[in-house]
Amino acid sequence: MEQELRVKVRERDEYLCWECRRDIRKPPIESLQDSVHHIVPKKHKGKDEENNLITLCKFCHRKIHGNKKLEKAYRNKIFDFVMKTQLN
């Protein structure tokens, strides 16, 4: 994924993790460094496009990827949010 796209997604999300709402620019750096997450994973043909990406801190990113049930539930939560936003 291109760095320019990552920057665009972070700016759009105001540098806040979608899960815990922490500002990814603030310490502790190691566990809160920003990470761009695919809503639909690349292994499921998800694309590197802004509407398929969100900002997550590394801790939340690992938490979501470590649990398939949570990953699916989170994907549905984000999809619902995106659909509501696009309809308004």
User: Domains of the chain: which residue ranges?
Assistant: 3-87
Contact criterion met (CB below 8 Å) for 73 and 80:
no
Span 43-85, pLDDT tens digits: 888 899 998 899 988 888 888 887 778 777 777 777 776 666 6
pLDDT of the residue at 31: 43
Average pLDDT, the chain: 80
pLDDT of the residue at 28: 65
The number of angstroms, rounded, from the C-alpha of 64 to the middle of its chain's C-alpha atoms is 10
Q: How many CB atoms lie within 10 A of CB 68?
A: 9
Nearest to 85 by CA among 39, 23, 22: 39
